Chains A and B, each alone.
Chain A
Amino acid sequence: MSNYGTTRHHPAAAQKGVTDYHTTLFRRLSWEGTVPLEIRVDPQELPANSERGLECYFIQAPRVSYLPLLMPEIRRFLMDVVFDETAAKALKEEDWWFEADDGTLLKWHWPIGLIYDNHSILATVRPGSSLAGSMATPLRLILHLASPPTDKLLLSPSAESCKQAFMGQLKEADFIRWGNTKRITGLRKVDQDGLWEGIREHNFDDYWRVATKVTPTTTPNRSQSPGPPPSSVSMHGRPPSADNAGPPERDGAYNVRSVPVRVYLPDGPVIQDLVPPLLEDGTPHTLSHFLSTHIPLLFPPRPPAPPPSRAKPNPQAPSVPELAYPLVQGVLTPLESEMAWLGACLAGADGWLNICVGVNKK
């Protein structure tokens, strides 16, 4: 794993501007995450003289990418292998659109990882969905070649409008964190474009060279954050590197006004609210606290432990039913994770921490 971090033994790692090993590791892991897609042209729309039986294409797509960025590759395959040359000329790519095999329209401006996770949590409440059997099953997509339902897709399928939507999300995230968009608008044009190019080329270094200027750092501000109480110190806590108490960081993840977070429930709705990094008592805002505050029916708050007695010197809090689970970047996420840390290390390329909630079986 030595290639995942570049600063582990670097003496300058604690200095501002250099990202620590664990932060880079988690950013790298989420950046390199991919999802399997199975893309099939709607058989009823396949033009005459097409190579039937070959109209299916498999792709392992980056989570941080977008469907419009996959179109050139899919188009090349279809044109070269499937479509008859004459028929291909009549097709207009701006009429193409995707649907999941359960009839859900796929939005052009959602990151592919989010589309996949959102579909996989839907499968936890719907029998017979393509992802019900296993998370490693490809997400089955149907490619339509005509009559896009423009009013529901909301945006045109071009890479340019996808880029505009991405920049909008990046600025919205910036505004949530700091109350203004100065960090993004302060970037030179070439750097703003560089963020998008990094996604288009799936190049971690190109993207993060610019993104470190707008993403919070993970060095905690000791004067404000006393750290978790002793009872919650565990392997799931903040990575050890984050505890190298440095000077208070103006750009620190624990100093933002709010963490940009959206919660996706199976078949909707999407919940978004202000998520301060620290609670009023100064302790870090955990995923557990966030979920049991915003969706308590799915994540019931745990009642406090009874007072210790002679018979039970270390009483445990009563257990609550585990009805649901949170996925971040497709990963089952420990409830004691801190929202600020998740926002700095596991957010998508657009700056948003997307939490997809799936439902447990009985």
Chain B
Amino acid sequence: MHVIGFMAETTTAPSETARQLPWATPESSDVNEDALKALETYKKRDPSKVVVRFKAVGNAPIMKQNFYKITASNRFQAVIQFLRKELGWKASDPLFTYINLAFSPAPDDTVSNLFKSFCTDGHLIVNYSTTAAWG
């Protein structure tokens, strides 16, 4: 890896000679209030729910009920945890999860974002397997 590393004996950051860019003024008290209000609006969690449909792959046990309504603002990690609980899986038991038999999403993707991009017939299809299938 071509990275430049060097030691520093003092804690002073080399900021004095740093170039000032127009949007980065040191005073932070003059942040535009309209912009902050907009950010607060976008930060509100989406309370809506979407239908997630679980489908077993390979030797994974089949779930009796496989449609669930899950809050859209949840992260995919919460879906994985939910699935583990439903299957009675221990933390050490391997479980691989996929969308549309194609890829594993990042655990911090939200259900809402995944649903918007990948829903099929109004469902987000989550495949689960005990072995790596499309990894």
Query: Which A residues have a C-beta under 8 Å from some C-beta of B?
Result: 34, 38, 40, 53-54, 56-62, 65, 69-70, 73, 77, 81, 107, 109, 123-138, 140, 154-155, 164-165, 167-169, 171-172, 174-176, 180-181, 185, 200-202, 258, 262, 265-274, 295, 297-298, 321, 323-325, 332, 358-362
Contacts and interface: CB of A to CB of B under 8 A. Distances in A.
A19 B3 CA distance: 27
A231 B83 CA distance: 53
B23 A358 contact: yes
A126 B28 contact: yes
B86 interface: no
B43 A268 contact: yes
Max chain B Cβ within 10 angstroms of own Cβ: one of A62, A171, A185: A171
B7 A77 contact: yes
Contacts of B118: 175
Contacts of A132: 24, 26, 28
Given A58-B8, A168-B104, A171-B103, A360 B28 contact: no
A61 B3 CA distance: 6
Contacts of A34: 3-4
Contact of A176 (B3, B23, B24, B117): B117
B42 A295 contact: yes
26 contacts: A54-B9, A73-B3, A107-B108, A126-B28, A132-B26, A133-B26, A134-B20, A136-B15, A136-B19, A137-B15, A137-B18, A154-B108, A201-B2, A266-B39, A268-B43, A270-B110, A273-B113, A273-B117, A274-B116, A274-B117, A298-B35, A321-B32, A323-B35, A323-B38, A324-B35, A358-B23
A272 B34 contact: no
B35 A359 contact: yes
B63 interface: no
A59 B103 contact: no
Max chain B Cβ within 10 angstroms of own Cβ: one of A77, A154, A269: A269
Contacts of B7: 54, 56-58, 77, 81
Contacts of B5: 57-60, 73, 77
A138 B102 CA distance: 38
Contacts of B25: 361
Contact of B103 (A124, A181, A200, A360): A181
Interface in B87-135: 99-100, 102-110, 113, 116-118, 134-135
A361 B32 contact: yes
Contacts, number: 191
A269 B108 CA distance: 11
A201 B116 CA distance: 35
B3 A297 contact: no
Given A125-B36, A265-B42, A361-B25, A56 B8 contact: yes
A362 B36 CA distance: 11
A258 B27 CA distance: 40
Q: Which 10 A-B pairs have the closest CB atoms?
A: A127-B28, A297-B38, A171-B103, A136-B18, A272-B113, A134-B18, A168-B104, A323-B35, A154-B107, A359-B35
B4 A59 contact: yes
A74 to B, nearest CB: 8
A129 B24 CA distance: 12
A65 B13 CA distance: 23
B55 to A, nearest CB: 17
A136 B14 CA distance: 9
B65 to A, nearest CB: 26
Nearest to B4: A60
Nearest to A199: B1
Interface string B65-79: 000000000000100
Given A57-B8, A128-B28, A164 B102 contact: no
Contacts of B2: 62, 201-202
B96 to A, nearest CB: 10
Contacts of B36: 125, 359
A81 B7 CA distance: 10
Contact of B102 (A125, A175, A202, A362): A175
A145 to B, nearest CB: 19
